[in-house]
Amino acid sequence: MQDPEYDRRILGTFLSLGVGFAASVLFFALLGIFVDKKLGTSPLFTLLGVLIGGAGGFYSLVRKAKELERAGREPPNGSRGDEGEGSG
């Protein structure tokens, strides 16, 4: 059975990935809307903002996923040498 603390950490990790992606898209979309209103070029910079935010968010998501994959190959903290060895 999985440790509930471990499950919460995994859930938090995935939630942060999703929120980070959404925040990136939202920030650049809002920036694009602002620029469009100032320059009167609607929807040009809004679309560019969404595309840049999506690309940046996706890049960040992939980078973090690779980092988590590498970390998943290593033993979790506290489990090195604890199992399989005699206790005395």
pLDDT of residue 3: 80
Both tokens of 11, joined, read 């859930």
Tens-binned pLDDT, residue by residue, of the chain (88 aa): 668 887 888 888 889 999 999 999 999 999 999 999 999 999 999 999 999 999 999 999 999 989 888 887 766 565 555 455 555 4
* CA 7 – CA 65 distance, rounded (Å): 17
Do 57 and 21 touch, CB atoms closer than 8 A?
A: yes
